Amino acid sequence: MPQITSAAAERPGKVKTLLRKFVVAFLLISGLAASAQTADQAWLKYVKRIPVFTPLAVHPLGNSLLEQSAVKELNRNLGSIAGRDASGPGFSARARMGMGGQTIIGTADEIRKALPDVPVPRDLGPDEYWIYIGPCSDHFNGCGEHNLVVIAGGDERGTLYGVFALLRFPATAEIGELHRENPWRSRPAMPIRWVDEWDNPDGSIERGYAGRSIFFEGGNVRVDLAPVTEYARLLASVGINGCNVNNVNAAPQLLDANHLKQLARIADAMRPWGVHLALSVDIASPQKIGSLKTYDPLDPAVRTWWKTKVNEIYALIPDFAGFTVKADSEGQPGPSSYGRTPADAANLLANALAPHGGVVLYRAFVYNHHLDWRDPKADRARAAYDIFHPLDGKFAANVIIQIKEGPIDFQAHEPVSPLFAGLRQTNQAMEVQITQEYTGQQRHLVYLAPMWKQVLDFDMRVDGQSTPVKEIIAGTSFHRPRGGMVGVANVGRDAWLGSPLALANLYAFGRLAWNPDLTPEQIADEWIWQTIKFRDPVVVSTVEKMLMQSWPAYESYTGPLGMQTLTDITGSHYGPNIESSENNGWGQWHRADKDGVGMDRTVATGTGFAGQYPPQVAMIYESAATTPDELLLFFHHVPYTYRLHSGKTVIQHIYESHYEGAAQAAQFVRDWATLEGSIDQPLYEQVRDRLRYQAGHAIVWRDAIVQYFFKLSGIPDEQGRAGHYPGRLEAEDARLTGYKIIDVTPWEDASGGKAVSCDDPQIPNRKGATKPICTAEWKWTGEEGMYNIAVQYFDLHPGTAKFFLAQNGRIELGPLGQMWTADAELPSPQPHGDNSIRHLIRNVWLTAGQTMGIEAEPDRNDRAVLDYIEVVPAKRDPYLVPDLPCSEGQQVQDPVSHQETYEEIAGPELAGWAGETNVGTPIEGMLVELFHPGDKTPITTTHTNEEGGFRFTGLAPGHYRIKASGVVEYGVDEIVRLDPAAKAQLCLVVE
Ligand code: GCV
């Protein structure tokens, strides 16, 4: 747990164990029954995990809101035993020893006064915490009424953070490692740890993918702010201390007297968790709502207007955090209208805020979106540095320049913004996106911590010295007092981020802002333990692997080699649309033409952007030979035949990365399937459905980009895949009734650029259909056998089309998915890669010469637009999860690897591993039985070895079920029974 800096060195001889003393039993604590949106639905679930047993008597020394919250949170963890007298009835002798005594919570000053013998450090800083286990001679059993746990904060918020750290402790400890040093101490790396929400007063959220706003509705602050308080609790649990609640494309009316009163309610709702309210302001507000003629930052009347407005805000919200500003950007007004600089605008606001302790987060996202596309020297990437570097040193002390992590705009992969090295006398904060605008909009699994970590660790080599970005923004490199990280979260009413796994990004953001030295893997593990399953080694390793592979996979099938996300940049920012980046002034250019691709950003021949980095870094990017492959096309325009460091040509890499990325997305489905039965079933199903969708959409991306570059370059794929789709039957080649052939825009978003649209439906004559239908029919000319059929269609809104699979003109409405409705919520009302979606029908028996058809009933704008069907032998379909005949969980470390490696050994085999659920200790001697699914008598049995392993070899291809059972005893009074029904069964497929 490296984020905790031990103070043990200060107090030799005081190293003790904490957890052993307080973890006296495995106890299931029932959670709070919650129907409203609560933080417990994210990672603050104090259920079914080892609770931290502090002494049950919890005493706050102060009576501040924050200390009360801290007490409440500790008690939540204790559930039904909170507040009870551990020496009373219902507690065993062991529990009395462990949970008697006192837990004391307070600021360092309060602790010093109340407990002079407790060695609380004198130099605890703001938000810092210190946790101390008092002297007790029996560290294993505890000392009953003499137990003492002290949680001290450098300030009140520090006490709250200390409590959350203690509660997180079981998840942050290494598996099997229960000893920790005492006392613990930890301080945040940077003071500004904010989230931004791009919520509009009408309740919509710009780039939000989880429903409507928790803050606003119909132009006003919502009446029910309970979710806001819960959100603040979630934020506080990972150390986030500020929340800017309104869109940076700001609504000036929020600053009027009526709205300020409403906003004060939001501040009240977040205050108990130490999260301070901030607001985005429109720099033109004095003109728009203050009836001044100007908003010129140097005009005295404008200055007075802001001072008065800020005073009014602080009268209502005394702990108001400050303003965020987007100006002179994407149509927002700014100081340039008056020939003034961002420093003039920022200082205007900063001066008004300074007397109250508020700050200005001025965004460096300032650029001209009417650039001349034909100008080879024009470059949006240069804008932030060109504008802000000359202003270094001109900003007031309470201004922080908020810099997006890359020079463009949250693309799948960008280099680090050079501006981080270009401001030595200015406070800086790094802005990242938690909401996945360009990274799959939460429908795709993309764990962003590895991307952020790459930026944080990037060494700018300022003056030839080690200067990682994390130290610059923490203020240490250039001795700046204020700095930090801001994450654009855009949470909504749909389970915060819509997708359960996307919450790992919110968690990771907070943890990295507190301690950027944490690794993405560590953070993932903590989050999985707290959210999905506590300390189950199989679950942890499976989900961690998926999370860690998710960003590289997404990058591979969207925009590899630094081409940015090849998405519809003038539309939804979701599906593929390669040319939308070109021929316009937005400057997200990749300059693909028939000979080559990439932006020349070199100093020698290009836009000169590479020269904005300090010399050692600039030198690397200036030459294609030294630029890392992953960013090559961001810095260089090269022919398609250019050879990468990997040895592949650029074009071959484009083809292969898309196939590999899509295959990885399909693998996620299989990886996740191994967890069925081991984790919460609704969670399992929700994520499974999302992953299946993603695997299908990754194919849309793959095919769009591969066919686009294949056509543009004319260079064949060395592996023969581009342009060849085994088993694919195009809709435009089918016998059509009612359907009309259409061109899809952009062409690459449909197979062959065309689809069929049900514009003239015929009279219904099919079961299941209620309205007129269209049909597309093909003759099957392949071999007789069992096939899986993928149907690729466009799910348009508004409307819910119905589809049916017909064979030889007949429709079977069985459980195999031959009838389905197009009811997904996807962007764009027209057929597009945004809404191209894949439906799988498994195990269809086809005979040579038969017909198969899709019959479709359109509904309003959803014209049941069909792209193609793909028929793949059921046994060989790489995009299908094996349809397991039994659905129990499993205890095998990595079942997929069996499928990958069995050919290299004598015969197919199944092997696995069993471990104790919570700490991962291998279990020797378990009985492992191998069954044919459905059979009660095992085919064979074995026992686990001393590493907990087992192996069955020489198996014929087929489906098997494994059951492992046993009783494990260790310690004096701790017995863990593996639950054979829930945890120790396995279904695998050997092919
Ligand atoms: C809030 C991108 C997004 C915009 C966003 C802008 C910003 O361009 O697409 O929706 O505006 O970034 O960060 O200000």
The span from the CA of 430 to the CA of 601, in Å, is 23
Best of 195, 409, 432 for a ligand 1 pocket test (most atoms within 8 Å of beta carbon): 409
Q: Are 884 and 820 in contact (CB under 8 A)?
A: no
Q: Is 177 left (phi over 0), alpha (psi -120 to 50) or beta?
A: beta
Distance 226 CA to ligand 1 centre (A): 28
List the residue whose alpha carbon is closest to atom 13 of ligand 1.
365
If pLDDT is split at 50, 70 and 90, which confidence band does 768 have? confident
The span from the CA of 757 to the CA of 742, in Å, is 7
- Ligand 1 within 6 A of CB of 155: no
Q: Check whether 21 has a pLDDT greater than 80.
A: no
Determine the number of helices (DSSP H) and then strands (DSSP E) in the chain: 22, 38
Q: Give the residue carrying structure tokens 């002390």.
A: 397
Q: For residue 326, give the ligand 1 atom closest to its CA.
A: 14
Q: Check whether 756 has a pLDDT greater than 60.
A: yes
User: Between the CA of residue 852 and those of 150, 175, 447, 559, 856, what are the distances in Å?
Assistant: 72, 54, 40, 36, 13
If pLDDT is split at 50, 70 and 90, which confidence band does 929 have? confident
Q: In percent, how much of the chain has pLDDT > 70?
A: 85
Q: For residue 329, give the ligand 1 atom closest to its CA.
A: 14
- Ligand 1 within 6 A of CB of 541: no
The span from the CA of 652 to the CA of 639, in Å, is 12
Does the annotation count 330 as an active-site position? yes
The catalytically annotated residue of 156, 296, 431, 437 is: 437
pLDDT at 911: 64
What is the 3-state secondary structure of 455-495? HHHCECCHHHCCCEHHHHHCCCCCCCCCEEEEEECCCECCC
pLDDT at 958: 58
If pLDDT is split at 50, 70 and 90, which confidence band does 366 have? very high
pLDDT at 89: 74
Q: What is the pLDDT of residues 280-319, one digit of tens each?
A: 999 999 999 999 999 999 999 999 999 999 999 999 999 9
- Ligand 1 within 6 A of CB of 205: no
- Cα torsion through 281, 283, 285, 286, rounded to 10: 140
Best of 198, 490, 581 for a ligand 1 pocket test (most atoms within 8 Å of beta carbon): 198
- Ligand 1 within 6 A of CB of 249: yes
pLDDT at 939: 87
pLDDT at 666: 92
Does the annotation count 145 as an active-site position? no
User: Closest by alpha carbon to 931, among 986, 867, 860?
Assistant: 986
**Any bridge partners for residue 792, and if so which?**
838, 868
pLDDT at 965: 64
Q: For residue 206, give the ligand 1 atom closest to its CA.
A: 10
Distance 148 CA to ligand 1 centre (A): 50
Answer with the residue of higher pLDDT: 943 or 361.
Answer: 361
Distance 442 CA to ligand 1 centre (A): 17
Which of these ranges, 7-21, 493-507, 537-551, 956-970, has the smallest mean pLDDT?
7-21
Q: What is the pLDDT of residues 88-126, one digit of tens each?
A: 777 777 778 888 899 999 999 999 999 999 999 999 999
Taking each helix axis from N to C terminus, what angle separates 226-237 and 156-172, rounded to the nearest 10 degrees?
70
pLDDT at 952: 78
Q: What is the pLDDT of residues 320-353, one digit of tens each?
A: 999 999 999 999 999 999 999 999 999 999 999 9
User: Closest by alpha carbon to 488, among 250, 194, 274?
Assistant: 194
The mean pLDDT of 796-813, rounded to a whole number, is: 89
User: Between the CA of residue 924 and those of 701, 895, 943, 945, 988, what are the distances in Å?
Assistant: 47, 20, 8, 5, 22
pLDDT at 813: 65
- Ligand 1 within 6 A of CB of 207: yes
Q: Check whether 860 has a pLDDT greater than 80.
A: yes
Q: Are 856 and 866 in contact (CB under 8 A)?
A: yes
Q: Check whether 179 has a pLDDT greater than 90.
A: no
pLDDT at 588: 96
Answer with the residue of higher pLDDT: 957 or 717.
Answer: 717
Best of 197, 282, 330 for a ligand 1 pocket test (most atoms within 8 Å of beta carbon): 330
Q: What is the pLDDT of residues 390-408, one digit of tens each?
A: 999 999 999 999 999 999 9
- Ligand 1 within 6 A of CB of 962: no
Q: Check whether 892 has a pLDDT greater than 60.
A: no
- Ligand 1 within 6 A of CB of 21: no
The catalytically annotated residue of 109, 202, 330, 924 is: 330
Q: What is the pLDDT of residues 49-96, one digit of tens each?
A: 666 768 899 999 999 999 999 999 999 988 878 888 887 777 777 778
**Any bridge partners for residue 468, and if so which?**
459
Q: Are 751 and 868 in contact (CB under 8 A)?
A: yes
- Ligand 1 within 6 A of CB of 365: yes
- Ligand 1 within 6 A of CB of 319: no
pLDDT at 29: 27
Does the annotation count 629 as an active-site position? no
User: Closest by alpha carbon to 401, among 421, 381, 382, 376?
Assistant: 421
pLDDT at 457: 98
The span from the CA of 383 to the CA of 395, in Å, is 18
Distance 664 CA to ligand 1 centre (A): 29
Q: Check whether 260 has a pLDDT greater than 90.
A: yes
Q: What is the pLDDT of residues 443-475, one digit of tens each?
A: 999 999 999 999 999 999 999 999 999 999 999
User: Between the CA of residue 387 and those of 281, 339, 391, 419, what are the distances in Å?
Assistant: 21, 13, 7, 10
Q: Check whether 973 has a pLDDT greater than 70.
A: no
Distance 386 CA to ligand 1 centre (A): 20
Residues 6+ apart with CB under 8 A from 120: 108, 111, 112, 130, 132, 150, 152
Q: Give the residue carrying structure tokens 């028939």.
A: 594
List the residue whose alpha carbon is closest to atom 8 of ligand 1.
409
Best of 207, 433, 438, 580 for a ligand 1 pocket test (most atoms within 8 Å of beta carbon): 207
Residue 536 has phi, psi (to 5 degrees) of -95, 115
The mean pLDDT of 478-494, rounded to a whole number, is: 97
The mean pLDDT of 938-957, rounded to a whole number, is: 75
The span from the CA of 163 to the CA of 236, in Å, is 10
Residues 6+ apart with CB under 8 A from 437: 207, 410, 573
Structure tokens at 521: 């893997």
Structure tokens at 434: 């938690």
Q: Check whether 719 has a pLDDT greater than 60.
A: yes
Mean pLDDT across the chain:
87
- Cα torsion through 514, 519, 524, 526, rounded to 10: -60
